[in-house]
Structure 1
């Protein structure tokens, strides 16, 4: 095994140096940062004007280019939302060139023709990747005025949204557990606030967001369907800066600034809290006559600090902590109930620059997710005290080492290794009642080890070809069960003509952790469990092909547009689901719960998804936004569900359309609008209703009318769901959101008022369906009908933001 890995690394390094043979080559490297804050910029395009030779900055703003020596070298630096910068340098020896980019739109015709806003989508080997500037996210109208990264990603092709208003993400037929969500290298297992209506990511603290749906680079692993990679801001090194906001349900505050006078260190702290509990508690108390106290709140905190020990050594420390809590105390029953869940992450990273071509990063990562339920009913002397405690969670400790190697402009090599120690607590129930004495079910913690080793190379064999090839070796160990899986990856782009290319990709992914859900809407009661000797790893294989087009000429509206059209086919094996009627809760028979394993409640199956996606996007300019369309089919098949026949999962959606527009009317007013349409969800709903009876008397011939009437009064109504799973298709979903922002800049601060409306034309979109009895009228007899229930009508919102 070790010999194979070493051979792989040395082969990649050998191939990388095949083109590095000229006698005199010179390397220029450095960091690209933002003017005014010294914030490192990710993905800046560094290139030779008029050519396709160039590179991009990595996660820490570092770049490196090795070229033939010459008297003068002219480099251009461009990035979305920043002015293009060009610099001429004497190029006879290795040197370091650090560059500052100034925020500002390159809107004039001269600026746009002179440079590129970012790396052209047609020139990148990577496909099925979408990034949205955070500045653009903050301008899009949002539910209750809360800007949400995940809800913006729901508007992208290939991404299906969950239920009305929720942040659930279903990518190319995959479930919510098949998304790898990472914040500064740390995995976030539950990204939801307010039972899924908001995500845990505060836009004030986020620097970049990238969504990868296919053609995954080898550096990512552990999930089947997508990677959502988020990076926090480093903090302003120049001066103290702040931003705060007040909305209908929450307020937030962010502070950042230098830690030292020499600009070598900075910090960032960002917090947010809802005040639903403060508003709702008096109303609940009033409605209950003072006997009931109930409330809900969430909060989150982001913090980051960094220090440059030298030009070659930098240290970053970042963390996130968030919690949701619901509580209810009933004084009349002497009972209280609590529900809470939350995440905690921490990342310590050390950057080391060995030389101008070799960059490394060592990360120590911590992630912890917990979910808890408590219910206590205190009895009197003649009554029994009842208490229930439920606890589940997952805790990770990871060590990760990555290296970036830039031998020539034709090669960009990445390699690394990561080990993660998982500790799962599938469930822990304590049920106390004098009638059964005391039952304690403490399921033993499950400790497992997951590791990965990867190498990848972005190769430019010619001016027309771009290739990203790599291999990831993953290993998982749980007691006596061990799984070793190779994961090949390949993406390629061929340029047909300037600004137009065709692309194709293949990726194999393995997933060793699973999410069990008996709600289907991503509530925190969903349970994370590991691969075991009885539950095999999930695996997917995905192929994709398409075209990519950049529009760099034409009118001001057309310039800056990018067009991607992709088709994909994905298979998934060993996906798991609950058996019919099964649940993660072990309280129906707590005295026997110790003999029940969660593996007994699940069944394994397979799935497949295929479709086509269209995206026309503009990231910068006076008018920006995108138009997306998805045509897709998804099916699952389990031997113990739906009589073993394939069925459409809940979030299979045939057609999905999203239109997003942002228009800078002037420096003081910004208009934004969103329209979405989607085929209805596939649901299992009752198809009929029948009655059963539990007689207290036996009906015999000659029974009195009173006995007959009593027999039929003991009827119990039952719903019949039919034989087919998810055979009912809900009504189509669509809505229109609108927002307007009013900006005003003063000498020391800038303030923004935003007024928005969610579901402006008051569409009653379906949330769930149920059968109900309809009483007889003068013209119609009594009947049973299927009723549709909606959640959100038009929802207006107002918020106030101040920057200082």
Structure 2
């Protein structure tokens, strides 16, 4: 009891002493200012030097202010670290003066702080850690962001990291034919994916029939991949959007890298352009970086450096035959950026890619001359020029002009001549094929933040398309010996035009502390002008809605609805990207493709290291296109819309993702359960599964840092096999002769038919449902190692060793059928891709 009384007495001593010591209101304000770190703003006429006669000030800031100014004729208003004081009977004009004084003090404090930071020579490093890409905090569903580090730490096929193969490992994405760049996102086709590089569309996104991606990861800054919940500022395709942003260049130092791989090499350079005036300002410490920067990256295969000398040596040893064969591909990226200020800059971006294949075989002896040559080349040219900056404190904008050009060309020529008999025929055959698409566009995007609760994007774009599919030139020359006796030539040109105009607006609203809503709309007009002069306008309105509920700081639930419209199509009759593929606009006979997708998911950041998510989607597409013939390798471009079928697609599934991130180990795992169904009434009366319908897909990737000098990467994929069509019935019917040879195929091949109109009996294979058989399970393991070394001069060297398909699993690509007629058919699954090792060496400087 004695101790309690002593404690109470000691506690009351400061209050008693303060009661005996008289203070003024101003002195109490100084004490509050020191203890709570606030600033008072007021007019000098306030009676602050009067004596304070109240009780000692206790409690929080607002409680103390109420106690201090009670019965004093003064009111207060707190705004952050500032407390404004007014008379109780103050006029509106007097209150405005105090508020203006507070804003002036705020600006003065910011300027002084910036000046102190700029003048400071001993400012300690400040590290702010946060995940701007967190899927828990963003409103969109189905968005993934990949940084440059994410791409360059991936497995490297034949020495080059690959953006498309990284995206193929994402949940909800099915790869096409093994080892190719095909992407089937949420059941869509390969041409339903939009690829952008610095705001320009890329029509040819791969090299070597899909073996390599057309994007050089050395110059990529960030890649945003959307498979659902599309923002209103994106459109033009109905399955996915991949938005690639290249780096702007270092504003302080020049540096780069040189990579030498198994079949290619890469070089990247970046840095500032140092003007004399800016260099002098940097030396005096008046600038923190140069205003103009550059980036240049190039990738090229060097197989032709091997094949050309090899063919030369071969030709030296053979007298009557000369062979020339060469192939190369290249990517070139260049970007120039100039900063007028921290809030205004202009840029010029260039991207070029090309595949080139050439073969020539000249056979010449004393009797005969036979020459054959052909070459194929195709690629992209993309240019973007624009301005990006801040118009006001709450409004920023980007304006740009874009040019996209994709072309493919095939040339074939043969010549034969008899040197001895001048009466023998000689013949020259020349074939040329060209396809191209040109886009000239303008785009404006404005970003307005009127308050902390609204984030508004609005703008529009306009694009003028020129399509030139299947321009053909045929030239034949006939003669006797060296004398020309006859010649013929034909030229077929197709040219189609289209104009596309789009406007969009979206607002991301924060409703309270837990809800956020992204609502937008995209409206467009597409005017098409076909080769026969027919014109038509198509109008579309695509609403976009995304809703998020933030259950806690680590858990969110999302729902999204988005509609997409596609008005241009890639026509091919194969599952591989071919040089003969061509792009065309929607014609008056058809309708633009349209999709409606609903997605929902839950996202949880269980700890700093663990993240899990569960997402589901339902998507329905209308006016999808499928080739209506199996016999034409290439569909004629002048009436291509008569050779395709219009149908519907229905796709749905569940995606589960889990990630573990620590300083040494990173593990990403995903599982997809999906259905891919289609309905083309002209092909089959009912719903059937697509060729790339894969019920289950499981991916796991891991990156391990084994000390400072080594790191390891491994990726394992296991999925249900793709589908194929197997003949389930054999039917009898008329055995029609071959239209060119007139030979019958009624069981005795290569024998002339006695009467081509006779109803001889033949056996035909038929099927009930397309894609009615599932290929064996697909699985493989890829691994890679990076070995780091730093030279005495501080330059980093990296040795990469990668192995594709480590345990040499020959996965099925197609079915081979065998067996006699009217007997059991034997099926064998055939594969093509074995184990593939690769090695590369990178030098940074």
TM-score bracket for this pair, using the shorter chain length: 0.7 to 0.9
C-alpha distance 638-740 of structure 1, shift in aligned 2 (>3 A): same
Give the corresponding residue for 1:541.
596
C-alpha distance 69-165 of structure 1, shift in aligned 2 (>3 A): farther
Deviation string 1:558-608 (CA, Å, 9 cap, x unpaired) is x2432221111000001112112364747xxxxxx89x5122211211111
C-alpha distance 717-744 of structure 1, shift in aligned 2 (>3 A): farther
Give the corresponding residue for 1:704.
none
1:762 aligns with 2:817: no
TM superposition shift of 1:686: 5.4
Q: Which moved more, 1:487-496 or 1:380-389?
A: 380-389
Give the corresponding residue for 1:524.
579
C-alpha distance 299-728 of structure 1, shift in aligned 2 (>3 A): same
Structure whose alpha-carbon radius of gyration is higher: 2
Q: Any idea what SS the aligned residue of 1:153 has?
A: helix
1:308 aligns with 2:339: yes
Give the corresponding residue for 1:9.
none
Quick one: which of 439, 455, 474 aligns to 1:412?
A: 455
Give the corresponding residue for 1:511.
566
C-alpha distance 500-697 of structure 1, shift in aligned 2 (>3 A): closer
Are the equivalent residues in 2 in contact too, given 1:527–1:584 (CA < 8 A)? no
Query: What is the rounded CA distance, in whole Å, between the counterparts of 1:300 and 1:564 in structure 2?
Result: 36
Are the equivalent residues in 1 in contact too, given 2:703–2:714 (CA < 8 A)? yes
C-alpha distance 195-90 of structure 1, shift in aligned 2 (>3 A): farther
Higher RCO (Cα < 8 Å, 6 or more apart):
1
Q: Which moved more, 1:307-316 or 1:670-679?
A: 307-316
Give the corresponding residue for 2:330.
299
Give the corresponding residue for 1:274.
301
Q: Any idea what SS the aligned residue of 1:493 has?
A: strand
Give the corresponding residue for 1:185.
199
Are the equivalent residues in 2 in contact too, given 1:626–1:660 (CA < 8 A)? yes
Give the corresponding residue for 2:817.
771
Query: What is the rounded CA distance, in whole Å, between the counterparts of 1:352 and 1:698 in structure 2?
Result: 72
TM superposition shift of 1:183: 0.3
Query: What is the rounded CA distance, in whole Å, between the counterparts of 1:631 and 1:214 in structure 2?
Result: 16
The CA RMSD measured in Å over matched residues stands at 3.4
Give the corresponding residue for 2:610.
561
Query: What is the rounded CA distance, in whole Å, between the counterparts of 2:727 and 2:156 in structure 1?
Result: 34
Query: What is the rounded CA distance, in whole Å, between the counterparts of 1:672 and 1:718 in structure 2?
Result: 53
Give the corresponding residue for 1:205.
219
Give the corresponding residue for 2:697.
656
Give the corresponding residue for 2:640.
598
Query: What is the rounded CA distance, in whole Å, between the counterparts of 1:790 and 1:712 in structure 2?
Result: 37
Q: Any idea what SS the aligned residue of 1:644 has?
A: coil
C-alpha distance 698-70 of structure 1, shift in aligned 2 (>3 A): closer
Deviation string 1:52-109 (CA, Å, 9 cap, x unpaired) is xxxxxxxxxxxxxxxx953399xxxxxxxxxxxxxxx99824969999xxxxxxxxxx
Give the corresponding residue for 1:214.
228
TM superposition shift of 1:441: 4.1
C-alpha distance 693-497 of structure 1, shift in aligned 2 (>3 A): closer
TM superposition shift of 1:624: 1.5
Q: How does 1:621-660 map to 2 (within 5 A)?
A: 621-641=663-683, 643-660=684-701
Give the corresponding residue for 1:677.
718
C-alpha distance 291-205 of structure 1, shift in aligned 2 (>3 A): same
Q: Any idea what SS the aligned residue of 2:209 has?
A: helix
Are the equivalent residues in 2 in contact too, given 1:751–1:800 (CA < 8 A)? yes
Tell me the TM-score normalized by structure 1: 0.79
TM superposition shift of 1:287: 7.9
Are the equivalent residues in 2 in contact too, given 1:658–1:675 (CA < 8 A)? yes
TM superposition shift of 1:414: 0.6
Give the corresponding residue for 2:545.
490
Query: What is the rounded CA distance, in whole Å, between the counterparts of 1:639 and 1:338 in structure 2?
Result: 40
Deviation string 1:517-572 (CA, Å, 9 cap, x unpaired) is 200222232221101211211000000111011133xxxxxx24322211110000
Deviation string 1:130-172 (CA, Å, 9 cap, x unpaired) is 1122212212222222200110010010111111111111100
TM superposition shift of 1:338: 1.1
TM superposition shift of 1:640: 1.8
TM superposition shift of 1:311: 3.9
Are the equivalent residues in 2 in contact too, given 1:755–1:798 (CA < 8 A)? yes
1:162 aligns with 2:160: no
C-alpha distance 98-401 of structure 1, shift in aligned 2 (>3 A): farther
Quick one: which of 475, 481, 490 aligns to 2:525?
A: 475
Are the equivalent residues in 2 in contact too, given 1:128–1:215 (CA < 8 A)? yes
Q: Figure out how many residues of one structure are paired with residues of the other and give that number.
A: 684
Q: Which moved more, 1:764-773 or 1:271-280?
A: 764-773
Query: What is the rounded CA distance, in whole Å, between the counterparts of 1:319 and 1:717 in structure 2?
Result: 59
TM superposition shift of 1:782: 11
C-alpha distance 384-789 of structure 1, shift in aligned 2 (>3 A): same
Deviation string 1:275-334 (CA, Å, 9 cap, x unpaired) is 222334556677895543223210110000000123443101111001001111111230
Are the equivalent residues in 1 in contact too, given 2:206–2:214 (CA < 8 A)? yes
Q: Any idea what SS the aligned residue of 1:132 has?
A: strand
Q: Which moved more, 1:650-659 or 1:615-624?
A: 615-624
Q: How does 1:115-154 map to 2 (within 5 A)?
A: 115-118=129-132, 120-154=134-168
Tell me the TM-score normalized by structure 2: 0.76
C-alpha distance 482-147 of structure 1, shift in aligned 2 (>3 A): same
Give the corresponding residue for 1:233.
247
Query: What is the rounded CA distance, in whole Å, between the counterparts of 1:767 and 1:265 in structure 2?
Result: 50
Query: What is the rounded CA distance, in whole Å, between the counterparts of 2:575 and 2:737 in structure 1?
Result: 33
Q: Any idea what SS the aligned residue of 1:308 has?
A: strand
Q: Which moved more, 1:596-605 or 1:146-155?
A: 596-605
1:248 aligns with 2:262: yes
Give the corresponding residue for 2:62.
none
Q: Which moved more, 1:684-693 or 1:648-657?
A: 684-693
